[in-house]
Amino acid sequence: DGGITQSPKYLFRKEGQNVTLSCEQNLNHDAMYWYRQDPGQGLRLIYYSQIVNDFQKGDIAEGYSVSREKKESFPLTVTSAQKNPTAFYLCASSEHQLGELFFGEGSRLTVL
């Protein structure tokens, strides 16, 4: 079945550590996105990519980094520079820009 796979589902990190969240899609979609979700805040865009080897900052990119070396993969690194990294992270993809988004199941990151 086609879809988006995020891993790990749960992740714990000590302060000062970088952590990478995986996002893989087999939908052959061009565009991929990372959102952060906090209670009562909706979804806020971190980074997005419309094509391989290219990506743009979203509204809250500080403290995060991404890469897009393959069409199907868009990993997100939460760096130690992110002041408040505890959150639920959602990866999504779309066939083209402004197409409907297909979401993964999410990754919950907790900083201890």
Q: Are 21 and 37 in contact (CB under 8 A)?
A: no
**Beta-bridge partners for 45:** 35
112 forms part of the interface with another protein (CB under 8 A): no
104 forms part of the interface with another protein (CB under 8 A): yes
If the CB atoms of residues 57 and 70 are measured against another protein, the closer one turns out to be 57
By DSSP bridging, strand 43-51 and strand 31-37 are antiparallel
Q: Which two tokens stand for residue 52?
A: 């391989």
| Stated length of the chain | 112
Q: How many CB atoms lie within 10 A of CB 102?
A: 17
Positions 56 through 75 that interact with another protein (CB under 8 A): 58
Q: Which two tokens stand for residue 102?
A: 């297909």
84 forms part of the interface with another protein (CB under 8 A): no
Distance CA 108, CA 16 (A): 18
43 forms part of the interface with another protein (CB under 8 A): yes
Task: Give the residue, chosen from 1, 41, 54, 69, that forms a contact with another protein under the rule CB under 8 A.
Answer: 41
2 forms part of the interface with another protein (CB under 8 A): no
- Residues binding another protein: what is the number (CB under 8 A)? 23
Residues making contact with another protein (CB under 8 A): 4, 6, 35, 40-43, 45, 48, 50, 58, 90, 92, 97-98, 100-106, 108
